[in-house]
Structure 1
Amino acid sequence: MTMKKWVQAFGALLVTLIAFSGLIGLGHSVHAADDSLAKVKSRGVLVMGTSPDYAPYEFIINKDGKNEVVGMDVEVGKAIAKKMGVKLEIKQMDFDSLLVALQTGKVDMVLSAMTPTASRAKSVAFSNVYYKAKQYIIVNKNEKDLYKDKSSFAGKKLGVQTGSLQADIAKSQIPTSTQLGLAKVPDLILALKSHKVDGIVAEDPVASAYVQNDSSLAAIDGKFNLAGDDLGSAIGFPKGATSLVKVANETIAEIKQKNLFPTYLKTAGKDMAGNVQNTSMLHYWSYFAKGVGYTLLITLLAILIGIPIGTLFALMRLAKNKVVHLIAVSYIEFVRGTPLMIQIMFVYFGIGLLVDIPALVAGVIAVSLNSAAYVAEIIRGGIDSIPVGQTEAARSLGLSQRQTMQSVIFPQALKNIWPALGNEFISLIKESSIVSIIGVTDLIYQLKVVQTATYKGVQPIVVAMFLYFIMTFSLSKLLNHYERKMQHDN
């Protein structure tokens, strides 16, 4: 392809993306009147977004064989939904995806121990602060005597949750420290135990929860300088949703008047204690089994969808029609040139803004379309590997172009590309783990759930590694069987 055609293709793609961005912006233009509360009441459901890895605010327990999100924030959410006269629906995702979900209409509110910072307030309408807590630093117990407060961590490495208040205050008040930012608190705990960080900045209730359930940890008062009414935890709503904010503020006032927060924390403590009564990995087999099931389902659907689409784009790229060829090249190069994680978020949050797409469906679509681009190149390479004489011989015998491709070229190409296709299928099992960022309960997601529930970092990882190995090894053996069979048929 010439440079001019590449520029034309890139320009067309850029215009398309800009136009799509314009549609998104148009969909979020300022409303003449606030109808946010009316919409929630008409649906009968209030959708709450949260990252359930932050006990005692929000975490997961197994109740009657099913995962259930519980914690203080969930109780607040239930109270708000009750006041509105609707049901509460909880959507789970990574903490740093919550505001995107709010801005794209995936959730009605974010209740996840979020601090109403000035930067967030530019794009989010916050309720009044409903809970304030001190900021502590979690350390390994055998190193507790080395630290007194935040000043002891000058020049040290601190773990913080990505996009959190803790990340901001650690950066501003301990400027000589370095940070390791991770999306999940269990990952930070694992980093602490493996001495990747010297401490973790966390709110008092969170620090207490981990220390009480893990004898190898300790917590010290960081003595951070916290001031202002904007500090603490608040509920995030879309900009302009004043009617929702009003109901939330009324509910928060009632909860404080009745002094219900100590009760909420006490209930959360009981749930946490139930989680750690039996922390053996065997006890959590159903979690891992569910994760394996979803991982295999996503992989299977991605293969079934990706192969036909990939084959189509391979043929389009080999076509003599310049327009068809350009479309195929643009698609393949664009998909291969962007991270799968971004593609998943675009499908779920971007396209999902126009059409409500469930997380699982969005994950399958993104993984399938991503795989199709790689399958297309594999198939194209296989077709190109067949000598031109094969095509000429078939056409001289009276076979049409379609018959030649179907009966002569493609069967030979399939034998050549089978190992490469097999590698792509095996990679799909592992790459599908990225769908956990939008709340799909695949194996990686369930791994995080078990880590949060048991306060164990390494054991769930070992189990997940073993399960991934079983899946990939089994598929590898199956693919090798058919490869030997095809070679034998020669």
Structure 2
Amino acid sequence: MNKKLLVVFSWLLLVRVFTVFICENSVTGLPPVKHAICTLATLFSADAVASTTQGKKIASVDDLKDKRIGVLLGSVHDSYAMKTFPNATILQYKTPSDIVLAVKTGKVDAAIYTYETLRDIFRTNDDLAILGSPLFSVPVGIGFNKTNNQLREQFNDFLRQIKKNGIYDNMINRWIIQGDTSMPEIKNSKANGVLTVGIVSDKGLPFLIIKDNKLIGLDAELAERFAAYLGKELKMSDMEFGSLIPAVVSQKIDMISSTLMITDERKKQISFSDEYYNLRASFFALKKNIVISSAPKSNKFSSLEDLKNKRFAVFTGTVHDGFVSRKYPNAQLMRYESTADMVLALESNKVDVALLDVITAGVIIKHNPELGILQEDVLNMPLGVGFGKNADDLRQRFNNFLQAIRGDGTYDDMYKRWCRGDPEQVVMPEIANGTGQKYVLGVSVDDLPYVAFMNGKYVGFDIELLKRFAARENINLDIVPMEFASLVPALASGKVDIITDGIAISEERSRMVDFSASYMEFRTAAMAMKSKIARYDNQPVSEIASGGFIENTIESFRRNIILEERWRIILDGLKTTVLISVLSTLFGTLLGSLVCFMRMSKNVMLSLPAKLFISILRGTPVLVFLMLIFYVVFASVNIDPVLVAVIAFGMNFAAYVAEIFRTGITSIDKGQSEAGISLGFSKVRTFLYIILPQTIQRILPVYKGEFISLVKMTSIVGYIAVQDLTKASDIIRSRTFDAFFPLIMVAILYFIISWVLMLSLEYLERKTDPKSKRKQAVIA
């Protein structure tokens, strides 16, 4: 019996020694094998059993004062733990995977590691969890030998370039925000030698990891792009974290690309590039060792993580669209064309949260106190002014101007007025327009602080910026409003020369247009109803004073029509809508008559093109056809957008009218044509005096319906920079955030237009009705 106990004890002792040797020392080999050995060995470990059976659970970071804390050897986490927890047992590990394994196997009670990497680790380790809030954040940079200033400056120039052209932001979005793990193909001439970069391959996503025998991650892509920038072949040197700095000091490697935190101590040994990210550090531990609150979980939102399967409102074609699609694939994405539409969707419970600029959100909440901010700094992106691909000179002139106003204090004054205070209270300075060459500026006119329409003129940070640029360069600036989604196509097709309105610089947009240097950072806020946000539970929600129906209607009329002379926008939009409707009808009727004649011809050379015209126009959505005419057919022609709208709507109307005319004509008995000819009439006179009057009388009811459809169809002309009634209401709603009055008012105006025009057609119908003529003759 004693022999058996001795054998068992010896095996346990051997397992214990083997566990310590494998798991607490850096042993090169296959990580999966090492992981399996440690996991099996730990099952027999007395320490592991004790860690789960003895001691209290961890409720907060304060409970770790006398516990075992795991850190990466030589890291900032190491020094932080030493200083902050002097009575704790600090266990140092050489690789990140060893730290995770130590926590899972009970070697430590908790460990400190990078918050961004932990989020990825938790995807495949659901038994781990964050303990408390992030501890601190530290900037990271690329490490260089102190004597290699040339390479360091080359990297800084490269970093500035990718931040300017949007590549950097695209990388941050893909690797950190969206959790994408696909490494892009980067072309490299490799003609200028070799660049040796020191890395730690198991740093963890989103920074560095080996996948399919290839290094991927933010640091890997950054190194590859820099090597391509230099035209050098990239050689990755994988080593222990503690060996990185000695390797670059001894010039064994050219630089370190491994999320190296910038500290004063490290600066004594190596030089750092400009910072390229801020890393956060957090404690993590086994879920079963963390105290979970027994309070019932609220259905209200505490952060964006509570919205993974909820409804998001975003602007069509913005970076938010792609951000939500990739980060929250199970969420329902609702795309809107204006801020006012998004506010209305929130208030009517069509969506759960809207993503907007944080300053714009503040303006909205001022008018809608029932809304609140769920989370700030959801996504930060640089903003730029867009220029055509062939306008390098104009773009460089703007960049020089931007640099100049940053230096003389003008920019700081503008930013303070528009972005730090209440943008609605800012008085737009009078800036004289230049008298030189004319350039067209495309804007969306949707929100402050960027672009708005107040007191009959355009205002906002972007407007003041471009007006100051125009004044300094003697440019005659013509401002044209359009839908946000139409800005980039309009610039790419040459319809406008410059675009601005809080446009984020992205890699996708940079393929279509050239951006200026960034003039501001777009900080995204998530906005929702306060009743859905947890942190507003104990705060009183402001109540909106409610009066009677008449009082509310009068106040809405004052805010939406009288205030800031907004009636002028409505009047201009009304004129444009009526003009387009009438001219499109006249043009479409004449063109439709011609197409009808060709369609009824026995000559195939005439009838075939007519049939094709009718089929194409009737089968193509009007909006698509309108944009094709404006951005493709007339791309190289400087033509008034109103005229383009008349042509497009007229052609569409003609396709339907041609068939209406043909149906009406063929409904007349052929015997009447024969009778007319037998009476001595020519074919033309027979048609004009006998067939046509009957045809008009028969087709007018259908023609009226098609005409009214045309009038309502004109509401989409805002996509080609025409300010009609609908666009006028959007501009007003972007200022008042009134959900209903502008829409109801525009609906009434459309009804009045349709009613008046229908009366004119009914008058024509009576004039062509034989029965009506006979009645008038009898009365006479």
Calculate the TM-score normalised by the size of structure 1: 0.66
Q: Is residue 148–residue 220 contact of structure 1 (8 Å, CA) maintained in 2?
A: yes
Match in the other structure for 1:336: 618
Report the Cα offset of residue 370 of structure 1: 1.1
Which among 250, 275, 283 is matched to residue 400 of structure 2?
A: 250
Q: Secondary structure at the match of 2:664?
A: helix
Q: Can you list the C-alpha shifts for 1:290-348, whole angstroms capped at 9, x where unaligned? A: 22211111111111211111111111111111110011111111111101111211221
**1:379 and 2:531 matched:** no
Contact 1:188 / 1:200 at 8 angstroms: preserved in 2? yes
Q: Is the 8 A contact 1:359 1:438 kept in 2?
A: yes
CA distance in 2, matches of 1:264, 1:384: 69
Counterpart for residue 301 of structure 2 = 147
Could you tell me which residue of structure 2 aligns to residue 46 of structure 1? none
Letter in 1 for 2:596: A
- How many residues are treated as equivalent by the alignment? 349
User: 2:343 is matched by which residue type in structure 1?
Assistant: I
* Greater RCO, 1 or 2 (C-alpha within 8 Å, sep 6+): 1
Runs (4+) of structure 1 exceeding 6 A deviation are 114-117
* 1:232 counterpart residue number: 382
2: CA distance between counterparts of 1:261 and 1:146?
41
Whether 2:366 is the aligned partner of 1:212: answer: yes
Pair 347,267 (structure 1): closer, same or farther in 2 beyond 3 Å: farther
Contact in 1 for aligned 2:693/2:768 (Cα 8 Å): no
Counterpart among 418, 424, 437 of residue 272 in structure 1: 424
Q: CA shift at 1:265, angstroms?
A: 4.3
Partner AA of 2:667 in structure 1: S
The match for 1:88 is none
Give SS of 1:408's match.
helix
The one-letter amino acid paired with 2:424 is M
RMSD: 2.7
**3-state SS of paired residue (2:635):** helix
The secondary structure found in structure 2 opposite 1:152 is helix
In the alignment, what sits opposite 2:227? none
Quick check: 2:313–2:335 contact (8 Å CA) kept in 1?
Answer: yes
Query: Aligned-pair distance for 1:256?
Result: 3.3
**Given that residues 272 and 453 in structure 1 are in contact (C-alpha distance below 8 angstroms), is that contact kept between their aligned partners in structure 2?**
no
SS at match of 1:309: helix
Residue correspondence of structure 1 range 96-107 to structure 2 within 5 A: none
In the alignment, the residues of structure 2 paired with residue 475 and residue 460 of structure 1 have an alpha-carbon distance, to the nearest angstrom, of: 23
CA–CA distance in structure 2, aligned partners of residues 249 and 170 of structure 1: 32
Task: Give the Å deviation of 1:479.
Answer: 2.6
Alpha-carbon spacing, 1:482–1:241, altered in 2? closer, same or farther (3 Å): closer
Q: Which amino acid aligns with 2:386?
A: G
1:162 aligns with 2:316: yes
CA distance in 1, matches of 2:412, 2:734: 22
Pick closer, same or farther for the CA change 1:325–1:443 going to 2, 3 Å: same
Q: 2:691 aligns with which of 409, 416, 426?
A: 409
- Pair 1:286 & 2:568 matched: yes
Residue 312 (structure 1) aligned with residue 594 (structure 2): yes
Higher helix share: 1
Structure 2 residue identity aligned to 1:256: R
Quote the residue 1:203 is aligned against: 357
Instruction: Describe the shift of the 1:255–1:176 C-alpha distance in structure 2 as closer, same or farther (beyond 3 A).
Output: farther
1:431 to 696, 704, 713: 713
Unaligned runs of 5+ in 2: 1-164, 172-297, 427-453, 456-554, 775-780
Deviation string 1:427-467 (CA, Å, 9 cap, x unpaired) is: 12111111111121111010101101212121100111111
SS at match of 2:386: strand
The one-character-per-residue Cα deviations of 1:1-26 (angstroms, maximum 9, x if unpaired) are: xxxxxxxxxxxxxxxxxxxxxxxxxx
Q: Do 2:338 and 2:734's aligned partners in 1 also have CA atoms closer than 8 Å? A: no
The equivalent residue for 1:477 is 759
Q: 2: CA distance between counterparts of 1:308 and 1:225?
A: 53
Residue 428 to residue 115, structure 1, CA distance change in 2 (3 Å): farther
> What residue in structure 2 maps to residue 122 of structure 1?
none
Moved more, 477-486 or 426-435: 477-486
Segments of 5+ residues of structure 1 without an aligned counterpart are 1-113, 120-143
* Cα pair 2:314 2:320 within 8 Å, conserved: yes
1:181 aligns with 2:335: yes
2:85 maps to which residue?
Answer: none
Q: Give the structure-2-normalised TM-score.
A: 0.42
Look up the equivalent residue of 1:152 and give its one-letter code: D
- Give 3-state SS (helix, strand or coil) of 1:354's partner: coil
Name the CA distance, whole Å, in 2 between partners of 1:210 and 1:262.
Answer: 24
Deviations 1:363-413 (A, max 9, x none): 111111111111111111110110010111112222222112111111110
1:437–1:218 Cα change, 3 Å: same
Structure 2 CA distance for aligned equivalents of residues 217 and 245 of structure 1: 39
Deviation digits for residues 30-85 of structure 1 (CA, Å, limit 9, x no counterpart)? xxxxxxxxxxxxxxxxxxxxxxxxxxxxxxxxxxxxxxxxxxxxxxxxxxxxxxxx
Q: How does 1:29-48 map to 2 (within 5 A)?
A: none
Change (3 A) 1:148 1:328: same
Distance (whole Å) between structure 2 residues aligned to residue 115 and residue 212 of structure 1: 33
Q: How far apart are residue 262 of structure 1 and its match? A: 4.8
Structure showing greater Rg: 2
The aligned counterpart of 2:773 is 489
Q: Aligned to 1:176, what secondary structure does the other structure show?
A: coil
Matched residues, percent identical? 29
Q: Whole-Å Cα distance in 2 between the matches of residues 186 and 376 of structure 1?
A: 40
* 2: CA distance, partners of 1:410 / 1:428: 24
Q: Deviations over 1:212-238 (max 9, x none)?
A: 333222123245365xxxx31122223
CA 1:428–1:266: 2 relative to 1, 3 Å: farther
1:463 aligned partner, one-letter code: M
How far apart in 2 are the matches of 1:209 and 1:339? 37
Q: 1:225 to 1:415 in 2, by over 3 A?
A: closer
